[in-house]
Amino acid sequence: MTDLATDKYSASEQGLGYIYQPRLALLRLLELPENTSVYLEKDDDLDFVGKDGRKSLASLKHKAASDRLTDLSTDFWKSVRIWLVRYKRDGRSASNLRFFLFTTGTVSDTSFLKKFLPIQSGTDDEIKTLAEQAEEALSRSKSNFIGDIAKEFNELTPTEKQDFLVRILILDGSPRIEDIPETIRDRHMRSIRREHRNSVFERLEGWWNDEVIKQLTGNRDEGIFGFEVSDKLYALSEEYKLDNLPITFRGKVPAGEIDIENDPRTFVVQLREIGVSSSRIRNAILDYYKAFEQRSEWARENLLVTGEIEDFEDRLVDEWSRYRDVVFEDLDESSAETVLQQAGKELYKWADQQSGNIESLRIRARVTEPYVTRGSFHILADATPEPRVHWHPRFLDRLGTVLGVSK
């Protein structure tokens, strides 16, 4: 197997860099004031804009664990080249720009770049200014690349050089891409029960990536604000409270084509028996799919209390039987087929349109998503060896042999 760490054709580090951008942006936006917004791939890797309009341009470098920044590190000077262009464009010393380099590497103790770190250790008896140290470092290089940057840097006046450099901050030892989820969970999800934090993070990041894609594809012109992240995190956390459950299958559809006419499942056969339209049968198939998958996901994530589904279904069956008795009360052996179908339609209409409004029939008080209750009725109508609910008054009698159901 090829070692990606040494394969010169591997794009794994470049790929990590692209994924690192949105992940670090999410972490930083959680740490900054809520009225801060972020743009990806605009003037730099990340552009943070404060309430006052002040802009911070951030370059991101996801490096090997042993990487060190030295005086002539390409990572630093590439970023400087970008920042110089923006600095000149925005009026030089009159601009409101700040510049950040986030790197997972560390600054060498012997490099003048340590002057750009947020915390300085020891006493500083350095006589040379930042501008003078930068000029000295640039002059030592024979690289054409560094030479081009030196030329651009030297277009600034001595005062502008110093002004430009003091705007730069290097944040070395930044969290690596694989460590960011844990950092977010530990620092920003303490109000959420520990066992649910992974699920909440995954859903938060899924929403976040969708917003990033909208921005990068031009479907979102404005920046993504910190308060949007806070609001989404709060909304997700509320779904994991004791009286609620997360809803994650809204709008989802099963893979493959929905075969309304030939679907052999019992709950579909039941609907055909009472003459329900094809469009309503399709909705029923979708509700069944979403409810089944949703319940399976809740079980996988251990969100359900032991016996909770069984209790929920028992309540649905009990209420169904009570309403059935009312609807079927005037039927007898001589009732015409049209009368039987109409009674079945009325019973199904109650389950499909009204039962979800009854709070006592919800699996939990705040789980109001209609497909949970509707789909659960279809799951009960599909139960084996005998459906626990049915719509046509004679369904079990007529289809007992086909379904293998005994009276």
Q: Residue 9 corresponds to which amino acid?
A: Y
User: pTM of whole model > 0.85?
Assistant: no
Distance, CA of 144 to chain centre: 43
The pair of three-digit structure tokens given for residue 274, joined into one six-digit string: 């009472």
Give residue 125's pLDDT: 53
Task: Name the pLDDT band for 64 (thresholds 50, 70, 90).
Answer: confident
Give the burial class of 217: count Cβ atoms within 10 A of its Cβ; 0-12 exposed, 13-18 middle, 19 or more buried: exposed
Give residue 163's pLDDT: 97
Give residue 18's pLDDT: 83
Asked which of 5-19, 245-259, 371-385 is least confident by mean pLDDT, the reply is: 5-19
Q: What is the mean pLDDT of residues 21-34?
A: 97
Give residue 397's pLDDT: 87
DSSP letters for 232-277: HHHHHHHTTSTT------TT---SS---TTT---HHHHHHHHTT--
- 195-201-206 Cα angle (round to 5): 140
Q: Euclidean distance between the first and final Cα of the chain, in Å?
A: 62
366 with 374: CB under 8 angstroms?
no
Higher-pLDDT residue of 2 and 207 is 207
Q: What is the dihedral angle through the alpha carbons of 351, 356, 358, 360, rounded to the nearest 10 degrees?
A: 100
pLDDT over threshold 70, residue 10 = no
The pair of three-digit structure tokens given for residue 218, joined into one six-digit string: 């031009």
